[in-house]
Amino acid sequence: MAADDSPTPFRDELVARGHLIPSGQPGVFGRGDEFERVCTGFDRLVDDAVAPDGAERLRFPPLVPKLSIERVGYLKSFPDLIGAVFGFRGDEAEAAEMAQTAWEHGDWSGHLRQMDVTLTPAGCYPCYPAVAARGRLAADGALLDLGPCSVFRNEPSDDPARLQAFRMREVVRIGTPEQVLEWRERWMRRAQDVFARVELDADVDVANDPFFGRGGRMLAKNQRALQLKFEVLAPIATNAPTAISSFNYHQDHFGHAFGIERHDGEVAHSACLGFGLERVAMALMRRHGTDVGSWPSDVMRELRLDGPRP
């Protein structure tokens, strides 16, 4: 298995096997059929784990209103990761000028104007204004299964585990601090059981988000001290562990930002969990090999890869 201190040998192996399809831009890949079957198989395992909780199923597009990004302070914490959306609003003459500039591979960005949406930077973001619009929560809060969410982050890299566009399988809990923290603790244990079913050795550790700048270092330190974020770690393209799943307690941050109220009128707390589907698939290929057909039979069965192709 090609994996050492450089991420490129493993990336090249994934490409050679047809698991990743290069686009010409770092961190932007298509996905081959076998790779996608692994992602789908793991997503079904998460489905099985989520089902007993009776979560409400919601699905959102890969765009979020710019207003939501502004409300949560994303540009203060992660300005380097944002994916803003721009569109053309000019006349025919300007369109012709822009087309000519593009034909010559020049800079045609000056002809575009910022739209009222951005690419979704975190899978859970669209659900909070939707929940707030319903009014006060019930006494048992809210539990939302958001499914595989398309996420964008502006961090091009040669590391195949650091994609610009990827999918997070997200579940969100909203309610009292006690409800939210109990749910997160239960899911941290449950996730380890899910990974054990596919024979993936993974460690759980306290973590922090990649906050921007000098002030961000203090935010990251506080996040670790309060144990607001945990990650499940496994080696992928290098021997250094990479996060393949995360469990985040937001306290009342989103409750305040969107005015989400509990049944008693207090501001709601929230937490989310996310499984990075592409990262999990790559971690499995690091663990069991890039020849999926040679994987252990128990793993193939758990991922439903041992039956006929759909």
- 265, 203: one domain: yes
Give domain status of residue 309, yes or no.
no
The DSSP string of 146-184 is: EEEEEEE-----S-TTS-SEEEEEEEEEEE-HHHHHHHH
| C-alpha distance from residue 83 to each of 27, 69, 76, 259 (Å) | 14, 11, 14, 25
pLDDT of residue 282: 98
- 226, 167: one domain: yes
Give domain status of residue 288, yes or no.
yes
Give the number of domains in the chain.
2
Question: H or E segment at 63?
Answer: strand 63-65
pLDDT of residue 81: 97
User: For tokens 């709601």, what's the residue?
Assistant: 268
Q: State the pTM of this model.
A: 0.95
Give the C-alpha separation, 282 to 115, whole Å. 34
pLDDT of residue 309: 65
The DSSP string of 127-142 is: HHHHHHTT-SPPTT-E
**Under a CB-based contact definition with an 8 Å cutoff, are residues 310 and 33 in contact?**
no
- 291, 170: one domain: yes
| C-alpha distance from residue 276 to each of 61, 120, 148, 166, 283 (Å) | 17, 15, 9, 8, 10
Which CATH number does the domain housing residue 73 bear? 3.30.930.10
Label residue 264 left, alpha or beta by phi (over 0 means left) and psi (-120 to 50 means alpha). alpha
**Beta partners for residue 87, in sequence order:** 113
Label residue 239 left, alpha or beta by phi (over 0 means left) and psi (-120 to 50 means alpha). alpha
- 201, 290: one domain: yes
Residue 89, domain extent = 84-118
- 147, 224: one domain: yes
- 49, 148: one domain: yes
**Strand ranges across the sheet with 241-251:** 56-57, 142-152, 165-175, 269-276, 241-251, 229-235, 203-206
- Each residue's pLDDT expressed in tens, for the chain with a length of 310 residues: 444 578 999 999 999 999 999 999 999 999 999 999 999 999 999 999 999 999 999 999 999 999 999 999 999 999 999 999 999 999 999 999 999 999 999 999 999 999 999 999 999 999 999 999 999 999 999 999 999 999 999 999 999 999 999 999 999 999 999 999 999 999 999 999 999 999 998 899 999 999 999 899 999 999 999 999 999 999 999 999 999 999 999 999 999 999 999 999 999 999 999 999 999 999 999 999 999 999 999 999 999 998 766 5
pLDDT of residue 186: 96
